[in-house]
Amino acid sequence: MKFSKLIFGMTVGLGLMASAHSQTILKIGYATNDTSHYGVGSTTFCDEVEKGTQNRFKCRQFPSSALGGEREMIESVQLGTLDLVNTSTGPVGNFVPEVKIVDIPFLFRDYDHARKVMDGPIGQDILTKFPAKGIIALGWTENGFRHMTNNKRDIVKPADAAGLKMRTMENKVHMDGYKTFGILPTPMAFPELFGALQQGTVDGQENPIPVILASKFSQVQKHLSLTGHVYSPALLLLSPAVWNKLNDADKKVFSEAAKKAAVAQRKKVNDDENTGIAQLEKDGMKVTRVVDGQGFRDALRPAYAGYSKEFGADNIKRIQDVK
Ligand code: EAX
């Protein structure tokens, strides 16, 4: 009896040592807090990876821009000093130009259209352009349709937005588009934004409801206009230093985990949109629900000439025609 207990004890001990010894910690960063849509997506990814690899991989999350802005985190993933980032496409076009086309304002009709494009051949083909730039794109997650907030006035039509100094992401496609509304675009990393709004360095900004909620912009912004002027995709990006060491089975686990993360993150975006606007109104924001969408689309025409030249009118039409 004693001998078998000894063997059992040793086996358990060795097993524990092995698992402790062979466990790899994955550092994952994102812009908003851990209960936000990025937090929900990242936690889902991490849970699935831990489960699928029998805890050989375990995440350590860095929410709330703890590791810097999205551009910095993407650079860290390229360098291998950060393992994963769950990021909007905001700065991504500066690393992988093929992404820029999906940042065109008023390109997507609604969430169903956007998700079909990202999960279909067009979106999946864009993911294949990342490895050449030293990044593994595990999949599309989601930031959401972006709306305008500011401290000066209600925005119904482009003329109301004209002259406002609005923070934008470091994204030329957005800036070129917003200029046609008469906005004075001020590119800025996300971690600086709350302070800039508080000090009045900028009049306003634009972000999806989940970000406006999670970042408590209602504390520093008076007006919210549901412009929905651009769909903001997001991505789960992995360092090749991690990917190249995975066996095929673990690569499959990581890829499947990214798919589940997208489902969870998209659900959180929809949930936040369903309840968040009333919450923001309760928190004191003046919400303009009906805006002159056609007016914004008409104003955007000169920028579309530039987009057609840069990305190909046929490529833009291919995206618009996805049903
Ligand atoms: O990805 O920079 C932004 O406005 C982004 O929407 C935010 O970092 C969440």
Number of structural domains the chain divides into: 1
Select from 37, 211, 272 the residue to mutate for testing ligand 1; criterion: most ligand atoms less than 8 Å from CB. 211
Atom number of ligand 1 nearest to Cα 205? 4
Q: End-to-end distance of the chain based on CA atoms, in angstroms? A: 69
Q: How far is the CA of 37 from the centre of ligand 1 (A)?
A: 12
Q: How far is the CA of 62 from the centre of ligand 1 (A)?
A: 15
Q: How far is the CA of 31 from the centre of ligand 1 (A)?
A: 7
Does residue 207 line the site of ligand 1, with CB under 6 A?
Answer: yes
Q: How far is the CA of 318 from the centre of ligand 1 (A)?
A: 27
pLDDT of res. 20: 54
* Long-range contact set of residues 74-82: C-beta below 8 Å, sequence gap at least 24: 74/135, 74/237, 76/29, 77/135, 77/237, 77/238, 77/239, 78/133, 78/134, 78/135, 78/239, 80/239, 80/240, 80/241, 82/27, 82/28, 82/29, 82/239
pLDDT of res. 6: 73
Does residue 265 line the site of ligand 1, with CB under 6 A?
Answer: no
Does residue 143 line the site of ligand 1, with CB under 6 A?
Answer: yes
pLDDT digits (tens), the chain, 323 positions: 576 777 776 666 665 555 555 899 999 999 999 999 999 999 999 999 999 999 999 999 999 999 999 999 999 999 999 999 999 999 999 999 999 999 999 999 999 999 999 999 999 999 999 999 999 999 999 999 999 999 999 999 999 999 999 999 999 999 999 999 999 999 999 999 999 999 999 999 999 999 999 999 999 999 999 999 999 999 999 999 999 999 999 999 999 999 999 999 999 999 999 999 999 999 999 999 999 999 999 999 999 999 999 999 999 999 999 99
User: Which residue matches tokens 């997001």?
Assistant: 234
- What is the domain range of residue 164? 2-320
Atom number of ligand 1 nearest to Cα 232? 6
Q: How far is the CA of 230 from the centre of ligand 1 (A)?
A: 13
Does residue 170 line the site of ligand 1, with CB under 6 A?
Answer: no
Q: How far is the CA of 78 from the centre of ligand 1 (A)?
A: 19
Torsion angle of the four alpha carbons 141, 74, 272, 187, in this order, in degrees rounded to the nearest 10 = -130
Does residue 215 line the site of ligand 1, with CB under 6 A?
Answer: no
Atom number of ligand 1 nearest to Cα 88? 1
Mapped to the 3 state alphabet, what secondary structure does 262-323 carry?
A: HHHHHHHHHHHHHHHHHHHHHCCCEEECCCCHHHHHHHCHHHHHHHHHHHCHHHHHHHHCCC
Closest CA to 90 of 252, 220, 233, 224: 233
Contact 169, 91 (CB under 8 A): yes
CATH code for the domain of 18: 3.40.190.170
pLDDT of res. 174: 98
Does residue 254 line the site of ligand 1, with CB under 6 A?
Answer: no
Contact 196, 167 (CB under 8 A): yes
Residues 6+ apart with CB under 8 A from 250: 52, 53, 56, 57
- The pTM (predicted TM-score) of the whole model is 0.93
